[in-house]
Amino acid sequence: MACQPLSITLAVLAPDNKKQISFGLTKGCNPDDSAFWIIDFIFRNRPDQDSDFQDRVKLHVAVNVKDSAAAANAAPANEVCPPCPSVLNSPM
């Protein structure tokens, strides 16, 4: 069976607007049709709603990446969800 790419992102903002969690899982395809996986997890918090979020935990795992250009396109800028922080910074 041919490799099928897959991408899942999850972004959660705590009700107090001081903590956010981002998770990403990407399955990409190498040129030889084998799969590679990228997993990202980020936990951010801030002391109050007027402060910027600070990364407290940041995890990036890449498995079986044979074509670094394909991996870079699958996970741009090593961010789980590049448009999400601006959304998460706003009040819900």
pLDDT < 50 positions in the chain? 76, 78-83, 85, 87-92
Determine what percent of the chain falls in helix, strand and coil, rounding each to the nearest 5.
15, 45, 40
Residue 22 in contact with residue 9, Cβ under 8 Å? yes
Per-residue model confidence (pLDDT) at position 67 = 56
Q: 14-28 pLDDT, tens per residue?
A: 999 999 999 999 999
Chain centroid, CA 51 distance in Å: 22
